[in-house]
Chain A
Amino acid sequence: MKIIKEDNKQFLKKDSERDLFTHHKKYLGTEVPEGYFLKSKNQILNKINTDIILEEVNEVKKHFVFWIRPPYKYIAAASLVFILSLTIWLQKPYEEDILKEVNTDLLMFSDTVLIESLLVEENEVDAFADITLFREILVKSELFEQKIDNLVFENLILEDSLIHNYLDDGLIETIIL
């Protein structure tokens, strides 16, 4: 590379408003095919157009698969959660439901009482609370009594039938013997 030899130490200090191709060819020996940059420009523009068309096609495809789009996804997820919750709720025992209902009613009732109690006389609140408690105790004791009765009644039936069976078997055996 004669130029470098001629320029000796000065070649790095030269200023640089220069043709890049010549510069690279001159110092590094690298070159490009003839008409490369024009060809490359067209390739890049074509590639970009192809990419844009592909993106548009993908956008259209996305529109077709409507249920994958975010709004539909959220609706589907919410529906699924709702169905699952409903299933779990329906599977709970009946008695628990009744108790829950009673408790909710009582809670709501007691809230109302508490709020109202701020506005009424103390003796009236006491009287009201007594009545409410009395009713609750009465209902509970009534239910308890019913349960006991049922239990005793069932036992009686069971015992009677066993006694009958026993007696029948005993009598038959006695008669046969």
Chain B
Amino acid sequence: MGKDAELLKKLKDSSLKEHAFSELLDRYQERLYWHIRKIVITHENANDVLQDTFIRIYKGIHNFQEKSSLHTWMYRIAFNESIRFLEKNRKKRYDNIDAISESNLEVLFEDEYFDGDEIQIKLTKIINEFTQKQKQVFQMKYFDNLSFRQISEILEVPESTLKSIYYKTVKIIEEKIVL
């Protein structure tokens, strides 16, 4: 996090901003991409959302009040941009996304950058059967390797609730994969 503080200082200095932003991209681009990809499913959509996310970060960095870490703040922007993208494209509230999980899978299987075998498809299907909250928590914790505190800041859910959700999802996956 020390490196982030230094980077943030440069980002807020207009003479160093360009160079610092390039460094920020090197450091976080891939992590944010995978976070977005799991929400918007296809590579093409993830690419669009990633660009919008970084543009928003670039424009908003001066207003970042450092109440959370830079990392968490960027994740939150990426998450919000992904939700906005889904809402715009599907013209539905994100709360209803559980109802269209089947179509999510179809979209994923049609994506040219998905090459899952039987077990990967099985895992994807299990995750897809989770409620939206379970899915977000599991993906952020397991795939994005975020701490419960960070997830709590992003989703605005108490850490204890997150822990309970995560362990429940892990249990479900373990049972279903073994079977």
Contact = CB atoms under 8 A, between A and B. Distances in A.
A40 B29 CA distance: 9
Query: Which interface residue of A4, A23, A30, A51 has the most chain B CB atoms within 10 A?
Result: A30
Contacts of B64: none
Question: Secondary structure at chain B's binding surface: helix, strand, loop or mixed?
Answer: helix
A: contact size bracket? 20 to 34
Nearest to B175: A9
Question: Secondary structure at chain A's binding surface: helix, strand, loop or mixed?
Answer: helix
Contact of B51 (A1, A30, A37, A43): A43
Contact of B117 (A29, A31, A32, A44): A29
B55 A44 contact: yes
A5 interface: yes
Contacts of A69: none
B178 A48 contact: no
Interface of B: 21-22, 25-26, 29-31, 33-34, 37-38, 43, 47, 50-51, 54-55, 58, 111, 113-121, 123-124, 142-143, 145, 170, 173-174, 177-178
Interface of A: 1, 4-5, 8-9, 11-12, 16, 18, 20-21, 23-25, 27-33, 37, 40-41, 43-45, 47-48, 51
- Give 8 closest A-B pairs by Cβ, nearest first: A29-B116, A1-B119, A29-B120, A16-B145, A44-B54, A41-B25, A4-B119, A9-B174
Given A40-B29, A45-B22, A45-B25, 11 more contacts: A4-B120, A8-B177, A20-B30, A23-B143, A28-B124, A30-B111, A37-B30, A44-B25, A47-B51, A47-B55, A51-B55
